[in-house]
Amino acid sequence: MRDVYILGVGTTACGKFPDKPAHILGREAAWAAIKDAGIHPRKIEMAFCGHVYQGMGVGQRTLKEIGLVGQPTVNVEGACGSGTLSFWEAWRSIAYGQCDIALALGVENLSRILSGGPLPLEEDDVEVAMGMSMPALYALRAKRYMEEYGVTPEQLAKVVVKSRRHAALNPIAQFRKEVTIEEVLNSPMIADPLTRTQCCPIGDAAAAVVLCSEDLVDKLATKKPVKVLGCVAQSGKYSDPQKLVCDPSENVTRTSKLAYEMAGLGPEDIDVAEIHDAFSIAEMLVYEALGFCEKGAGVRLIEEDRTSLGGDIVVNPSGGLLSRGHPVGATGLLQVAEIVWHLRGEAGARQVEGAKVGLIETMGGAQPAMDGITCVVSILGV
Amino acid sequence: MSEKTTEQVEFFRPDLFSTTPYPHLIAGHCRSCGKYTFPKYYACPACFSEDLEDTPLSPRGKLHSFTIVRRSLPDYPVPYALGLVDFPEGVRVMAQIETKNFEELRLGMDMEVTIGVVRKGKDGRDILSYKFRPVSS
């Protein structure tokens, strides 16, 4: 297996862009990533495009706009993990020698298909038929977690306060206005205990990453190359109610363990992380699953501001899904771009000083009796 | 998936529950290793056996968690309570909870299976399926 490096990243802003279909957003991000990499577009040998709702051939439709035709282009779907699943595909294509230079792209325009409300899910799924939405699923997790560990609604709301404070410093974030705990708790209730501001918004964006092999990095790199230290994708397993007390995190725990092993690092080595905070509760659950703290202690990291800018393990400096936004197929690559900017020292006002190692966790979907659909964890370093 | 029974109502997945002799869910049971699943899969998730049978689950379980859904997908009249119930056979099932008073719900309380309206169909008719309700003391 060869080492793989990130040469360039590019994104659009996150927000509602009903006049920009996915391929229009996507071409902007792909072109920006290629420019950032400083390579000729023709050098890209393979492309992967993560999306969920954007229809047939969206990767080809996007790349046609910038002349990237002919090469193998694979459209990748893994629910909300689609973006980082496309990153994983690009990484492994290089790591295992199928090509030297690949493009990972993620695109999504949700505002053209949804005016608001929860994401549409598969109607044949029995839990969806019973009235499950993604907010309702996370609300069930939140209710159980809060009772088991004595977490208050105010503590849950503090996740959003941190998220908005970070996003205020991020020029591409969808929500850049700071909020108070009271404002979070007073926003309309979606599914108890989750209020609207504790749910990620409907939004649109695209993001792209150019990767290359260790054999070419010295020759091609025009900026500080970022090394992929670990990259692991896993699907959900059957959850076992006898063992897992509302533990939706088995998939994240398992995937991150494998990623830490591949990188030869542990949670204590991570300086900055972008994680899948689709709902306020998810942030605490993921802290625990990634080993940033013991089970039940996620709330203390929030209470003690350890994951805020200036803390010892900064999580979601971009504002995360809650505030930067969650354009589902693009999300994973927005996360990758954010970590690359921090590792290069290009993150502006929200820069985590001296960041050397960053982690990206993306979690996709829900299935009855299973712990999610896809989880991808990557560890990057300089 | 669904089967019309009268002009007025429709049942969602009538293969997953029965009312005889009392309302209960129908799970999958592996004859090879004993694992229960809900619903029944095509091969056993524990041992890959294809020797699976439909089997009634206990009519009662315990409430693992619940939420009151106030904004939902179209066709689901809000608000409604949605819960996860753990059955003694080792399966956890999600369904709506019938209650006149959301305040009565508590984690760990005993729940029983019932049949009721889960949503409106495209033509406005009620769609019925399995639900839970607190066991009346």
A26 is a domain residue: yes
Of A130, A190, A241, the CB nearest to B71: A190
Q: What is the number of domains present in chain A? A: 2
Residue range A214-230, pLDDT digits in tens: 999 999 999 999 999 99
- The closest CB to that of A132, out of B13, B38, B82, belongs to B82
pLDDT at A241: 61
Tell me: do A321 and A338 sit in the same domain.
Answer: yes
Q: A270 with A161, same domain?
A: yes
C-beta of residue A69 within 8 angstroms of C-beta of residue A39: no
Task: Assign B1 a pLDDT band (cuts: 50, 70, 90).
Answer: very low
Mean pLDDT of A331-350: 98
Domains, chain B: 2-24+58-134 (2.40.50)
Contacts of B74 in chain A (CB under 8 A): 117
Tell whether A161 and A208 lie within a shared domain: no
Inter-chain touch B107–A120, beta carbons under 8 Å: no
User: In this structure, is residue A254 part of a structural domain?
Assistant: yes
Q: Which listed residue (A14, A49, A80, A293) is catalytic? A: A80
Report pLDDT for A367: 72
Integer Rg of chain B from CA = 16
Verify that A20 and A144 share a domain, yes or no.
no
Residue A131: name the closest of B124, B11, B80, B130 by CA. B80
Contact flag A133-B73 (C-beta cutoff 8 Å): yes
Q: Are A54 and A214 in contact (CB under 8 A)?
A: no
Tell me whether residue A54 is in a domain: yes
Taking an 8 Å cut-off on Cβ atoms, the answer to whether A241 and B92 are in contact is yes
pLDDT digits 0-9 by tens, B20-32: 999 999 999 999 9
Question: How far is residue A14's CA from residue B88's CA, in Å, rounded to a whole number?
Answer: 46
Residue A282 forms part of a structural domain: yes
Residues A219 and A356 in one domain: no
Write the residue in A131, A190, A368 that is nearest to B80 by C-beta.
A131
Predicted pLDDT at A35:
98
Residues A235 and A222 in one domain: no
Confidence category of residue A247, pLDDT binned at 50, 70, 90: low
Contacts for A78 with CB less than 8 Å, ≥ 6 apart: A50, A85, A233, A364, A365, A373, A374, A376
CATH number of the domain enclosing A250: 3.40.47.10
User: How confident is residue A124, by pLDDT bands cut at 50, 70 and 90?
Assistant: confident
Q: Which residue stretches of chain A are H helix? A: 22-37, 58-63, 82-95, 126-129, 134-149, 153-167, 181-186, 214-220, 250-263, 280-289, 298-303, 320-323, 328-344
CB-CB contact of B86 with A99 (8 Å): no
Q: Is A99 a catalytic residue?
A: no
Chain B residues with CB under 8 Å of a chain A CB are: 1, 12-13, 16, 37-39, 45, 64-74, 76, 80, 82-84, 86, 90-92, 94-96, 107, 118-119, 129
Q: Is the pLDDT of residue A334 over 80?
A: yes
Nearest CA in chain B to A146: B65
A271-316 per-position pLDDT tens digit: 999 999 999 999 999 999 999 999 899 999 999 999 999 999 999 9
Dig out the tokens for B47 from the structure: 């041992």
A28-50: per-residue pLDDT in tens?
A: 999 999 999 999 999 999 999 99
In a domain, A123, yes or no: no
ipTM of the complex: 0.92
Residue numbers in B near A126 (CB within 8 A): 13, 16, 39
Residues A153 and A235 in one domain: yes
Mean local confidence (pLDDT), A136-164: 95
Q: From its phi and psi, is residue B50 left (phi > 0), alpha (psi between -120 and 50) or beta?
A: alpha
Partner B contacted by A69 (CB < 8 A): no
Chain A residue at shortest CA distance from B14: A126
Compute CA distances A4 → A208, A226, A283, whole Å. Answer: 16, 9, 29
A181 and A323 housed in the same domain: yes
- For residues A39 and A72, membership in a common domain is answered with yes
- What domain range includes position A173? 133-197+229-381
- Band (pLDDT 50/70/90 cuts) for residue B137 is low
In DSSP terms, which residues pair with B76 in a beta bridge?
none
Percent of chain A with pLDDT over 90: 87
Residue A60 lies in a domain: yes
Whether A84 contacts chain B with CB within 8 A? no
Mean pLDDT along residues A196-211: 97
Q: Which residues of A touch B88 (CB under 8 A)?
A: none
**Residue A245, pLDDT above cutoff 60:** no
Please indicate, yes or no, if residue A127 is contained in any of the structural domains.
no
Spell out the residues 6+ positions from residue B133 whose beta carbon is closer than 8 angstroms to its own: B97, B98, B99, B111, B112, B114
SS3 call for A27 = helix
Rounded alpha-carbon distances, angstroms, from residue B32 to A205, A239, B42, B45, B52? 49, 20, 14, 11, 8
* Better-scored residue on pLDDT, B7 or A165: A165
Q: For the residues of A198-217, what is the DSSP string, one character each? A: GBPPP-EEEEEEEEEEHHHH
Neighbouring residues of A350: CB distance < 8 A, sequence distance ≥ 6 = A166, A169, A170, A309, A317, A318
Predicted local distance difference test score (pLDDT) of residue A125: 84
User: Poorest-confidence range of A11-15, A64-68, A132-136, A206-210?
Assistant: A132-136
Pairwise CB contact (< 8 Å): A131 & B83: no
Q: Do A314 and A341 form a contact (C-beta atoms < 8 A)?
A: no
pLDDT tens-digit series, residues A348-369: 999 999 999 999 999 988 776 6
Same-domain check for residues A188 and A284 = yes
